Amino acid sequence: MPTVYRVCPEDGFQDLQSVDSDAYLAACDRSWKFDGCPVGDSWEPLEFYVRRRTLKKPDIWGVADTLAFEKNAVAVLQLCLDQAGEQLRLPFQKRNLIVLNVTYVIDVLDKKRSVYPPDFPAMIRKYVFHADRLDYSLFKIPETRVGEILTVEGLASPDDEFKPLVEKHGLKGLRFDELWSGE
How does pLDDT run across 49-98, given as a tens digit for each residue?
999 999 999 999 999 889 999 999 999 999 999 999 999 999 999 999 99
Q: 162 pLDDT band (50/70/90 cuts)? A: very high
C-alpha dist (Å) from residue 47 to 28, 68, 145, 147: 14, 13, 25, 21
Inform me whether the pLDDT recorded for 122 exceeds 90. Answer: no
| Mean pLDDT, the chain, whole residue set | 94
**How far is Cα 26 from Cα 31, in angstroms, rounded to an integer?**
9
What is the mean predicted confidence (pLDDT) over 2-31? 92
- Domain-wise residue ranges, the chain: 3-181
Q: 118 pLDDT band (50/70/90 cuts)? A: confident
Residues contacting 132, CB < 8 A, separation 6+: none
Residue 8, classed as helix, strand or coil, is strand
Q: What percentage of residues in the chain have a pLDDT greater than 90?
A: 86
Q: What is the pLDDT of residue 183?
A: 67
pTM of the predicted structure, to 2 decimals: 0.94
